[in-house]
Structure 1
């Protein structure tokens, strides 16, 4: 592990500034903003190392124990993000997570699914889902959660249709991250 003091970082920034002076004020201001952003990043990294006691890899490590309540919280975060895109960043997807809707693969990675929740038009017409039931340990597997919920679809302020959905989440107890989602979606007139 490399330990770098704040003074060492600042000295390197100062030397870089002396070597790369910019003639334009705009360039100088842009450079200063970059330096500040870099220092904030370094400070955050140092704080993360300090918080984990300096243990390598501990900052992004999975929780030691994943209880059924934590599994439910992970799935609930996804359900909440369906209706509120501002919470998409809080959904704990595994890096290689996948999603299938009615047998068709629509999610190919955790990052892509998080981005879809935040930006995709498919989710922008949904309002907050109403959860009807949720079960941990579905099909006798402690890593599988079964949800049944209804998603109201609203376009232009008008409630167009309801989408009753059965979703199965695979959230391994070893990681507490959403690994796979299988959704069976139907449409019901209002």
Structure 2
């Protein structure tokens, strides 16, 4: 049975929540899932992405994520949210506005590809 729109949004939400919780064991990655950020491949497989989210230093600095806004267009689930990092400097934190596009086909409801656009900013 094909995955519903809500199930595909839930798959994307699981990934976004794992950015801050560092608990990605239940994120439904397809085995060959890839991730692209700033035109650079930063994810090479579902297992590698899961390990990175669980223990990768590039993710461990993330403190929290805002409630995402989702839209669905065919097999793509788009999410917009902000993330906040843990380190502070003079009471300010590095944050980022994130636009991610997930390829999550209805045929299996798994994340096959992630394309991220990240716009950092300083939050007081």
Normalization by structure 1: what TM-score? Answer: 0.61
Q: Given the alignment of the two structures, is residue 145 of structure 1 paired with residue 77 of structure 2, yes or no?
A: yes
2:31 paired residue number = 95
1:46-89 Cα deviation digits (max 9, x unpaired): xxxxxxxxxxxxxxxxxx2200000000000000000001x310
Structure number with the higher strand fraction is 2
- The unaligned stretches of length 5 or more in structure 2 are none
> How many residue pairs get matched?
122
> Per chain length, whose mean CA-contact separation is higher, i.e. which structure has more relative contact order (CA < 8 Å, sep 6+)?
2
Q: RMSD in angstroms over aligned alpha carbons?
A: 1.5
1:118-152 Cα deviation digits (max 9, x unpaired): 01011111022113421011xxxx10011111000
Normalization by structure 2: what TM-score? Answer: 0.93
| 2-structure distance, mates of 1:146, 1:162 | 20
1:164 paired residue number = 97
When Rg is computed on C-alpha atoms for both structures, the one with the higher figure is 1
